[in-house]
Structure 1
Amino acid sequence: MKSIFSTVVVCLLLTGTYAQPPESYYDNTVGESGYQLKTTLYNIIKGHKEKTYGQLWACFDLTDMKGDTLWDMYSFPPLVGKPNPYYYGYQVTQCGTYKMEGDCYNREHSFPASWFGATKNKKPKPMYTDLFHIYPTDGYVNSKRSNYPFGNADKTELYASQNGSKLGYSSTNKELGKDIIVFEPIDEYKGDFARTYFYMATRYQDKIASWNTNSLYAGQVLDGTDTTVYQQWYLDLLLGWHKKDPVSQKEVDRNNAVYLIQNNRNPFIDSANFVQRIWGN
C-alpha cells in the first residue's frame, strides 16, 4: 500500500481530476481541417504539467502496467513458441547496466531526445519528460534502437528482439536517395508509435521546425516546417501505420492515465479522424 500511495502522490500532485476529457475539450475544432485544426489542437494540449525525469519511474506504474509487470512494446509479447523472459516489476528492474534482453527496463524517448537537441548537459523542457512519447522499454533492445528512425526494415536485418521488433535497412524512402537504418516495432504497436509522432508534431509545433538540424537521423525524418513536420516518405509511413493498426484499449487507458498526470491528452487517440483531417490529403 505504501508503494501505491507514494506513486499516486508523486504522479497526481497538482494534476487534473478527470480520467476522460471534459465534454468541451475539443469544441474549438468543430468544422476545422488542415493546419488550422493542427494549431487549434496545439493550443488545447500545450502547457501541460511537467514531471521531473526521476518521477517518470513512478508514473509508469499508472501508465504502463500489464498485470504485475511493465508493458514493454519493444519486447512483449514474445514470438510464438518462445517463453517470456521478462518480468519488470514496478521500480524493481530499472536500468542500470545490462548485457542482454530481460536484464532491466529504462525510460525510452520513442521520439529520440537528440532529435530535439538533448545532450548530456542539456535536457530541453518539456519534451524531455513528456510521457506521451516516453515508454518503459527493455534497456538492451533500446540500445539497439538507439536514435534511428522508426521504419520498415525490409531490406537487411541487423538485429531482432524476442517479440520480433527489428533493426535493419529500409528501402522505402526513395527521396532520400539511399537506404537507411531503421527500427521496426511489431505490427501490434505501429499505430501506437504513429499516433505518438502525430502528437509530437502537434504539441511542439512552436519548436519543431528547427529540430531537423539537430542530428543526422532527425534530418532524415523532419522537413523543417511546423505544418507537415515530416518528410513525405515518413508521413506516408506514419499514415500507413496509423491506418493498419487502429487505436487499441491499451492506448485509450494510457491516454487517460497520462491525462491525470500531465493534464493534457493525445488528440489522435481520442479521435483517429484528426489525423485524416490534418494530413490525410
Structure 2
Amino acid sequence: MKRFLIVLVLFVFHNTWSQVLIINELDPDTPSTDTAEFIELKSQTPNFPTDGYILVFFNGSSSGADSSYMVIDLDGYQTDNNGLLVIGSEGVYPFPQLLISENVIQNGADAVGIYQASVSDFPEGTLATQTNLIDAIVYGTNDADDTVLMSLLGETVQYNDNGTSSTQRSIQRFVDGMGVESYSTATPTPRRENDGSGTAINPIQISVAETQYDEGTSFDITFTSETNVTSDLNFTISLNNFGFNTSDFTGNTSLTILSGTNSTSTTITLTDDSDDEGDEVIKIKFLDLVEPIVPGNNFVEVRAVDNDFTVAAWGTPTNPTTGIVQSTQPNGYYDSLDGLSDLALRQALQDIIADPNVVRAQTYADVIDILMEADQNPANSNQVWLVYTEEGRPKLDLQTGSSNTGKWNREHTFPRSRGGFDNIEEDDIADGIDVFWTTKADSLRHGNSDAHALRAVDAVENSTRSNQHYGEYIGPVGTLGSFRGDVARSVLYMEIRYNGLEVVNGFPTATGQLGDLATLLDWHRNDPPDDFEMNRNNVVYNWQFNRNPFIDQPDLVEYIWGNNVGDVWDQPLSVDEIGLEELSLHPNPSKGRIYFEGSDIKSIEVYSVEGKQLRQFNSVENFVDLDLASGLYLIKLNNSNGFITRKIIIE
C-alpha cells in the first residue's frame, strides 16, 4: 500500500509539471481603479525563454460569446531566477517584466490560456479552444460558473477572486508537500513564490516629490531598496523620452547604493532654453538592474513645463477677437449658393461640404492630433482650450486610462448615441493627414470622427453632459457660455453634412435627431463666430478639405433654419473689404520683397497660415522685405478704411 501511494504521489507531481509553462497567479480585479491587475506565469526551469508562446484572454459574457478579446505575444521575454514572468499594469509592485495597460483584464466570468501558437491564430472573437493549449484558468469575481467556457478549455473548476472594494486578493497556485496542486485566493505576491520559497528579490522604488517642474528648476530623484544591500549596488538610469533627452537636463544618472544602506539620490536640473518645444514628459527608468535587484516601480513620469510657449494674436473664446484670422476658403468656395433658397440652398451647401471627390474623412485617433492644433489655447500654445469649462488644459493631460480627473478627451457635440455612429477597429489608428477615407453625404459613420463637431473637453464634464440635448444641457454653472454659438454651428453643420441627421425643436428620442433647435438658434445669434472659431475652421479644413459654412457665412443659418427661410441667398461682400478692393500686392509668388499699390497703407501684419504673427511693419512706403522661409503666409493690410487680408507665397 505504501509503495502504491509513493507511485501515486510521484505521478501527481509529474503531472503537475507536464507543462513547461503554467499560470501561477492571476489578479483580474484590483480595488477601485484596476491599476494593479496582473497575471504571473511560471516555468519548470528559471530564465526560460517564452518565444513561441502567447497569452489569450477570453470573454465569458453573453456578448463576448466565450471568445478572445486580447492576445499578448510572449516573444522576446523570459522568466526570472524563480521561473516567474509577471505581465501587468504600472501599479503592480514589484514592476512587471511585461507591461500592459491598466484595466484591460476583464473581471469574469472569463478565462486566460497559454498557447504555443502565433498571435495571428487568435484574431479578436476567436472561440476558446484546446488546440495548442498549454495551460488555462477559468475565473470570476463572484460570478456564476461559465460551464461552456470551462468545457471549451477542458477545465472543471472556475476559480473565484475574492477581493473586495478595499481588500486586494489574487488567485494563486499552490503545491503541497505531496505534490498536489490547488488554487486559492490570498494577498497578491507578484514576482515572488506564492508559498514564500525561492530566491528573495530586493525591489528598488523611485520617488520624486512633485509630478511637474518648470524649466530652470532642480529636483531630487530618490531610489530606495526594500532591504539594505549587502554590497555596493551600482546602476544607471535614463530620463529620455521622445523629445526630452540629455540636452534638456544636467545631473548624475550613474548611481550607487552603498553596502549596508538602502537609498541614494540624484539632483536633476532642467535646462532653461529658449526653444518653444512644448511641455515634455521625463520618463525615469532603470537600465541595468540585475536580479535579485529588481524595479519596485519604473517608467516614473515627471512633466517638464516649457516656459517658452507662444501666445496667438487673437483671443480666447472668453476674451474674443474678430478680424485677425481670415478664412482660408478657396476663391469661389460658396459661389454656387448664390441665387438659391430653401431646399435648393441646402442641397447646394451639402454638395460643397460633402463632395466625395474632395472631402476627406480621418480616423477617430487622428482627431486627437487635429484638436491639439484646432483647439490650441490662444493664450498658451502648450494647452488646449476646453469647451464648456472655458479653460486651458495641458495637451499632455489627454485621458489615456480609466482615470478622468484633470484630463481632457474628445467631445461629440452631436452625441454618438443620438447620431447613430460609432467606432470601428480602424478608428483606433492615427495614420496622419495624408491617409484618409473617401466620404460622402451618406457616410454617416464618418460623423464619429468629423472634427468640425468634435471639441477638446474636460473629461469629467464630458461625462456630465453625456448625450443630453442642448437646452437640457447649458454648461457648467458660473461659466460665460462662450461655447454656445460654437456648438450650435457645429451641430447645424452636421445636419447639412450627413444624411440622416436633423436638429429639431424639443428633446427628441429618435436616433438621428438632436435638440433643441430654438435654443441653438438663439445661441448662434448671441455668440457669433470669433477668431478662435475661424482658426479651428481653417485647421480642420487642412485635414478634411471641407469647412463649416456657418463660421464663414453665419447668416446662412437664418436662410436655412431661421428668419430668412425661403429667401434667396446672395453671398455678401465682406465688410472688411468694402472700399479696399483697390489694394493689391505683387509679385506673388515672391522672393521676399513685396510691392503695394492702391490706398495709403498704414501698417502691415504678416501671419503664418496657423495664425501666428511673424512680422509687423508700422511704417510702410511702397514695398517691404519679409525675410521669411519659403511657404504660404497671410498678409493683413491696414489703412484708414479698415483692413484686407491676402495670401502670399514666398519662394
TM-score (ref. length: structure 1): 0.68
User: Is 1:62 equivalent to 2:373 in the alignment?
Assistant: yes
Q: Give 1:256-267 correspondences, 5 Å limit.
A: 256-267=538-549
User: Is 1:71 equivalent to 2:365 in the alignment?
Assistant: no
Q: Give 1:27-38 correspondences, 5 Å limit.
A: 27-38=335-346
Partner of residue 129 from structure 1, selected from 449, 452, 455: 449
1:139 maps to what in 2? 459
Post-superposition offset of 1:60: 1.6
Q: Percent identity?
A: 31
For the 8 Å contact 1:247–1:272, the answer to whether it is kept is yes
For the 8 Å contact 1:147–1:217, the answer to whether it is kept is no
Q: Give 1:128-277 correspondences, 5 Å limit.
A: 128-151=448-471, 161=476, 164=478, 186-204=480-498, 206-208=499-501, 218-219=509-510, 222=513, 234-277=516-559
Q: Give me the whole-angstrom Cα distance separating, in 2, the residues matched to 1:43 and 1:269.
A: 17
Count of matched residue pairs: 218
Given the superposition, is the C-alpha separation of residues 121 and 153 from structure 1 closer, same or farther in structure 2, using an over 3 Å criterion?
Answer: closer
**Amino acid of the residue matched to residue 134 of structure 1?**
L
For the 8 Å contact 2:422–2:445, the answer to whether it is kept is no
Post-superposition offset of 1:153: 5.8
Farther-moved stretch of structure 1 (114-123 vs 188-197): 114-123
For the 8 Å contact 1:108–1:136, the answer to whether it is kept is yes
**Amino acid of the residue matched to residue 105 of structure 1?**
W
Q: Give me the whole-angstrom Cα distance separating, in 2, the residues matched to 1:143 and 1:193.
A: 17
Q: Deviations along 1:244-263, whole A, 9 cap, x unmatched?
A: 11111111001001000100
For the 8 Å contact 1:149–1:221, the answer to whether it is kept is no
Q: Give me the whole-angstrom Cα distance separating, in 1, the residues matched to 2:403 and 2:372.
A: 22
2:290 maps to what in 1? none
Q: Secondary structure at the match of 1:106?
A: strand
Q: Secondary structure at the match of 1:188?
A: coil
**Amino acid of the residue matched to residue 557 of structure 2?**
V
**Amino acid of the residue matched to residue 254 of structure 1?**
R
Post-superposition offset of 1:219: 3.1
Q: Give me the whole-angstrom Cα distance separating, in 1, the residues matched to 2:511 and 2:501.
A: 14
**Amino acid of the residue matched to residue 131 of structure 1?**
A
Higher RCO (Cα < 8 Å, 6 or more apart)? 1
Q: Give me the whole-angstrom Cα distance separating, in 2, the residues matched to 1:92 and 1:37.
A: 42
**Amino acid of the residue matched to residue 246 of structure 1?**
P
Q: Deviations along 1:224-244, whole A, 9 cap, x unmatched?
A: xxxxxx66xx22111111111
1:88 maps to what in 2? 394
TM-score (ref. length: structure 2): 0.31
Given the superposition, is the C-alpha separation of residues 255 and 116 from structure 1 closer, same or farther in structure 2, using an over 3 Å criterion?
Answer: same
Q: Deviations along 1:188-237, whole A, 9 cap, x unmatched?
A: 11111111111011101x2226x99xxx8543993xxxxxxx66xx2211
Q: Secondary structure at the match of 2:456?
A: strand
Q: Secondary structure at the match of 1:135?
A: strand
Q: Deviations along 1:82-130, whole A, 9 cap, x unmatched?
A: xxxx6322x4432422354xx2111111110011223577986211100
Partner of residue 402 from structure 2, selected from 92, 97, 104: 97
Given the superposition, is the C-alpha separation of residues 19 and 242 from structure 1 closer, same or farther in structure 2, using an over 3 Å criterion?
Answer: closer
**Amino acid of the residue matched to residue 75 of structure 1?**
T
**Amino acid of the residue matched to residue 143 of structure 1?**
S
2:577 maps to what in 1? none
Post-superposition offset of 1:58: 1.4
Q: Secondary structure at the match of 2:483?
A: helix
2:166 maps to what in 1? none
Q: Give me the whole-angstrom Cα distance separating, in 2, the residues matched to 1:71 and 1:125.
A: 26
Pairwise CA RMSD = 3.2
Q: Give me the whole-angstrom Cα distance separating, in 1, the residues matched to 2:327 and 2:526.
A: 27
For structure 1, the residue ranges without an aligned partner over 5 or more in a row are 6-17, 78-85, 155-159, 166-185, 223-229
Given the superposition, is the C-alpha separation of residues 149 and 220 from structure 1 closer, same or farther in structure 2, using an over 3 Å criterion?
Answer: farther
Higher strand share: 2
